[in-house]
Structure 1
Amino acid sequence: MSNLPDLEAWAIFAKVVELRSFTAAAEDLAVSKATVSKAVTRLEKSLGVQLLHRSSRHLSLTESGRELAGRAQQLLSLGEEAEDAARDDAANPRGLVRLAAPMSFGITHVGAALPDFLASYPDIAVDLHLSDDVVDIIGGGFDAALRIGALPDSSLKARRLGPIDRHLVASSAYIERKGRPEHPADLKDHDCLCYAYLPNPESWRFTHKEGEEAQVRPSGPLRANNSDAMMPALIAGHGIALVPDFMLAQHDPEGSLITLLPDWSAPPVALHLVTPPGRERPARVTVLLDYLVGRFSRQCPAD
């Protein structure tokens, strides 16, 4: 593999040519005169040609130096333009941000949150990917993801935005037909509607307010990989389901569903904002992350 060009030395050479002085170039770049001299010498050694005639009073370009001075100036200009563009982007964020979110939460909350953000940052476009699958953020080229649930260990950076409570609920029609469970163990005799993307969908775990723990294997007429698809059957009285609070707010705003086993709670889950490793992010990503933190930390306050 060939060595990368010494862009710093090229840029310093261009500045020396522009100002016709090692001292003036050093002052302009806020470095020592020795640093400037070493950079030019390093470039000459790398190229195998002399670029400048030096004397105590006079500095002039060699023939090779004249031929290369224009290219050095182009490299310096391109670098300055790139830095100016980056600073401008930081002051005026623009470009595309790719964000992943769970399907139901994304439709209900993320989609509703974006209009205010887009109004504030008209030069930013958001590519919103909704899926209840745990997407590969790095492999999929995403800048960030919102995730609900316990997070596995990984190299990703995660910020907890707040808790999401889950409630065991059923319709009054179901309770009239099948009765009300008094203990989690009773659920084995009930029709359970199951969400397939729970951390362990084959098992529901509960903890009593006095510390007792219980576990049951739910079974029933419907299992779905999307909570929205499960809600009509739940409301129609076809079973019992473990439902996050934001789904109840959306599908049962009047509170017609009945909470079961109120002294028992399912393991806590939370909303997280997950990003790839690394500190530096484009301004367009940073402002969206800050907006999401402000928006959902208020809606999901820390416990």
Structure 2
Amino acid sequence: METLNKYHSELISFHYVAEHLSFTKGSEELGLSKSQVSKHVKQIESLLGAQLINRTTRHFNLTQEGESLLSYTKQLVNLTNNASNELKGLVEDDHGDLKFSTAPSLGNFIASDIANAFKEEFPNTHLQMDFSQQYRDFNKGEVHFALRINSVTEPDLIAKYMGKWKEAICISPKLLKKLNIADICPDELTELPCIINSCIKGHNSWVFYKGKKEYVVPVSGPISSSTFESVRTLCLDGHGIGRIPLFMVHRELKEKKLIQLFPKFSITGNTIYMVYPKQSYVNKKQRTFKKILNDWFVENQIFISK
């Protein structure tokens, strides 16, 4: 006898017809045509070499073989429903985890906003936020979403352009007073102590824009550092003039702990991309998290240049 393993759909059709003792109700339950369901039942009967249903114009009942098969199809349907519910719980409901990765400076700034919005929707989902410089591999399941400064070349990843960070040229009130400078132009930075971020491409040249005009200013100074956090700290302590993403110093500027030079010029920094896997199906948690990241960038345009 040929195995039933290949006839899952036909067995399911038989089950609902047998449960309802009606081809019409069984087909409605399945969303199939009555003729298609009838064909499925006949295929099972032919395969087993046994009549499963007694059907006349007045009577519709299961044979002994039909009753026996129904006991097994009940287990099949229950198993299928349980698997469906469990998987749906993992991908749609408030379970499992979601992994997000970005650089420390950005991560520290947006962590609360992102966590608050996500936890409001999924309070029981574990949100794993990795703010390190270490590369996380999507293919190994180490991350679901990332904000990165570079686009991607992997064909199975999507890199959505989010904008460029606005940057500010900052100086402490103490150093401003010491240097006795006011109303200076960007090109005068060549004669002033600047704090260089050695990890940024073209760190010895700062590019300014005013309208359509571009100004490239060579800069140097007694101190260089490899992170924006340290540049900000050094700038606050009066060690030099720093070029820092606006989102990292907006509070210090508001509280007058730092002063922004050249506010009428625009300075843009790293390009930001939202990176995530290319998938045919995206579950509810991932759709929600993607929207939260999108909304954050829309709501914080003060820090972003398109």
2:8 aligned partner: 7
Identity of aligned residues (%): 19
Change (3 A) 1:11 1:217: farther
User: In the TM superposition, what is the alpha-carbon distance from 1:248 to its structure 2 partner?
Assistant: 0.5
Indicate how the Cα distance of structure 1 residues 40 and 190 shifts in structure 2: closer, same or farther if over 3 A, else same.
farther
* 2:103 aligned residue: 102
- Residue 244 of structure 1 deviates from its aligned partner by 0.6
Letter in 2 for 1:237: G
Structure 1's 123 and 186: CA in aligned 2 closer, same or farther, altered over 3 A?
closer
C-alpha distance in 2 between matches for 1:13 and 1:215: 78
Is 2:101–2:131's contact at 8 Å kept on the other side of the alignment? Answer: yes
Query: For the Cα contact (< 8 Å) 1:164–1:300, is it kept in 2?
Result: no
Contact 1:22 1:33 in 2 (8 A): yes
What are the Cα deviations for residues 126-164 of structure 1, in whole angstroms up to 9, with x where unaligned? 1111124553344344232234x4634555345555653
Is 1:194 paired with 2:193? no
> Any conservation in 1 of the 2:196–2:221 contact (CA below 8 Å)?
yes
Q: In 2, Cα distance between the equivalents of 1:6 and 1:242?
A: 67
How far is 1:111 from its partner?
Answer: 2.6
Query: Which structure 2 residues correspond to residues 151-166 of structure 1 after superposition, within 5 A?
Result: 151-152=151-152, 155-159=156-160, 164-166=165-167
- How big is the shift at 1:243? 0.6
Equivalent residue, structure 1, for 2:225 = 223
Alignment of 1:131 onto 2:170: no
CA distance in structure 1 between the partners assigned to 2:42 and 2:220 by the alignment = 76
Residue identity in the other structure for 1:212:
E
The answer to whether 1:254 aligns with 2:255 is: yes
Shift of 1:254: 1.9
Length, aligned pairs only: 294
CA-atom RMSD, angstroms?
4.1
Q: Could you tell me how far apart the structure 2 residues matched to 1:232 and 1:39 are?
A: 74
Name the residue aligned to 1:142. 143
Query: C-alpha displacement at 1:30, in angstroms?
Result: 2.1
In 1, Cα distance between the equivalents of 2:135 and 2:217?
25
Matched, 1:71 2:72: yes
Residue 49 of structure 2 corresponds to 50
Aligned residue for 2:49, secondary structure, equals coil
How many angstroms apart in 2 are the aligned matches of 1:50 and 1:82?
A: 31
Residues of 1 paired with 2:51 and 2:163: CA distance?
63
Q: Which runs of 5+ in 2 are unaligned?
A: none
What amino acid sits opposite 2:106 in the alignment? F
| 1:212 match | 214
Identify if the C-alpha distance between structure 1 residues 260 and 31 changes in structure 2 by more than 3 Å, giving closer, same or farther. Answer: same
Normalising by structure 1, report the TM-score: 0.73
User: What are the ranges of 5 or more consecutive residues in structure 1 without an aligned counterpart?
Assistant: none
2: CA distance, partners of 1:53 / 1:10: 12
What is the TM-score with the length of structure 2 in the denominator? 0.72
Give, in whole Å, the separation in 2 of the partners of 1:26 and 1:116: 43
